[in-house]
Amino acid sequence: MTSDLITRFHFHNSKSTKGYTIRYRPWIVIHVEFFQAKKEALKREKELKSGKGRDWIKNRVLRLYK
């Protein structure tokens, strides 16, 4: 979840020096959702990081890029 997607991806792709983000470069945007409230966005992020959410990503989003 971020309010500034461009800055977030710039950081992930060039400024990050350790951890998960550096191991899987380059990061690309394949799906974006917009929410009115931060609480809603955090709830959706938690859903997407669950087992069902990861399945949804594989079945709905990643399938478009094969």
What is the structure's pLDDT at 29?
A: 85
What is the structure's pLDDT at 31?
A: 85
Task: Report d(CA 12, CA 18) in Å as an integer.
Answer: 10
Please spell the DSSP secondary structure of 13-55, one letter per residue: III--SSHHHHTPSP--------SSHHHHHHHHHHHTSHHHHH
DSSP structural state of residue 24: T
User: What percent of the chain has pLDDT above 90?
Assistant: 42
pLDDT band at 65 (very low <50, low <70, confident <90, very high): low
pLDDT band at 21 (very low <50, low <70, confident <90, very high): confident
